[in-house]
């Protein structure tokens, strides 16, 4: 039986493997496994990120990572975590200098998404090859929506490679989505979908377990209509 629960820092290595398998050749993958493992540890440890995994008998077979605020998450990641993998990343760039241009573009991701407060960005969603076409991806999205509603997010924003037809088909089945814009990130042409949480919570679920670090929760303050 597949269990859907919050990722923990010890799941970061397996999460990195799923990322590498799901996005071979992209700039994040080319930066190397140590970089990706550190990224997913940061997702678990930051209040501006959250990860949800699908586990089969304790083995991580699918995962999604979401930034509550891309601007705040990636700023924190560069300041607190990136130095830990500076060596392996530098070696990857030296071996393939063409990565550098894509890295520079990738760091402007938050600026390109234009996601305001209370809109979360999906950093990655992937399923291992042997578990594809088992309904796991739509199920993990339902758990993502349940979590997103619980912390007060209004939208889940998906950056999808334009040529990724299976992912685009899955997203097309969600309610009230629209393509906000198209741009280039991580060396690929991307479509940026915005999907309202409220329109997709009828069958949403909460992940099992507890987050390693609870994500920032948006709440109204004193009826002013402002959010904290």
Tell me the whole-structure pTM to 2 decimals: 0.89
CATH number of 2-200: 3.40.630.30
The average pLDDT across 131-145 equals 94
Of residues 109 and 213, more confidence is placed in: 213
Predicted confidence at residue 21, as pLDDT, reads 94
The mean of the pLDDT values for the chain is 88
Distance CA 161, CA 29 (A): 15
φ/ψ (deg, to 5) at 153:
-75, 150
* DSSP result, 35-80: HHHHHHHHHHH-TTEEEEEEEETTEEEEEEEEESSHHHHHHHHHHH
Does the pLDDT at position 105 exceed 80? no
Strand partners, 126: 63
Predicted confidence at residue 118, as pLDDT, reads 92
Predicted confidence at residue 161, as pLDDT, reads 84
Spatial CB neighbours of 139, under 8 Å, sequence gap ≥ 6: 2, 4, 54
Domain range list for the chain: 2-200
Predicted confidence at residue 186, as pLDDT, reads 61
Distance CA 92, CA 76 (A): 22
- Taking a C-beta distance cutoff of 8 angstroms, is the pair 66, 150 a contact? no
Predicted confidence at residue 103, as pLDDT, reads 65
Q: Using CA atoms of 52, 54, 59, 62 in order, give the dihedral in degrees to the nearest 10.
A: -80
Tell me: the pLDDT tens digits for 141-154? 999 999 999 999 99
The average pLDDT across 123-136 equals 93
Tell me: the pLDDT tens digits for 69-100? 988 998 899 899 888 888 888 888 788 787 77
Predicted confidence at residue 218, as pLDDT, reads 92
Tell me: the pLDDT tens digits for 191-208? 889 999 999 999 999 999
Locus of tokens 């909460």:
206
Spatial CB neighbours of 188, under 8 Å, sequence gap ≥ 6: 26, 161, 162, 163
The average pLDDT across 128-135 equals 93
Predicted confidence at residue 185, as pLDDT, reads 67
Tell me: the pLDDT tens digits for 5-53? 999 999 999 999 999 998 887 778 888 899 999 999 999 999 999 999 9
Predicted confidence at residue 15, as pLDDT, reads 98
């Amino acid at each position: 039986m597949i269990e859907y629960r919050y990722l923990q820092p010890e799941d970061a290595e397996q999460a990195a493997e799923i990322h590498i398998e799901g996005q071979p050749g992209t700039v994040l993958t080319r930066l190397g496994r140590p970089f990706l493992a550190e990224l997913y540890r940061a997702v678990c440890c930051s209040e501006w990120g959250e990860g949800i995994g699908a586990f089969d008998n304790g083995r991580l077979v699918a995962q999604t990572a979401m930034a509550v605020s891309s601007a705040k998450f990636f700023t924190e990641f560069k300041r607190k975590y990136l130095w830990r993998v500076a060596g392996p990343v530098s070696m990857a760039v030296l071996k393939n200098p063409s990565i550098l241009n894509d890295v520079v573009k990738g760091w402007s991701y938050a600026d390109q998404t234009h996601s305001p407060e209370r809109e979360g960005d999906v950093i990655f969603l992937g399923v291992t090859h042997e578990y594809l076409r088992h309904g796991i991806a739509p199920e993990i999205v339902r758990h993502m929506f349940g979590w997103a509603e619980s912390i007060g997010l209004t939208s889940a924003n998906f950056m999808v490679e334009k040529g990724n037809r299976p992912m685009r088909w899955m997203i097309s089945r969600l309610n009230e989505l629209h393509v906000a814009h198209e741009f280039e990130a991580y060396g690929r042409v991307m479509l940026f979908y915005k999907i309202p949480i409220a329109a997709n919570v009828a069958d949403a679920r909460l992940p099992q377990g507890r987050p390693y670090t609870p994500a920032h929760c948006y709440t109204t303050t004193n009826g002013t209509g402002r959010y904290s």
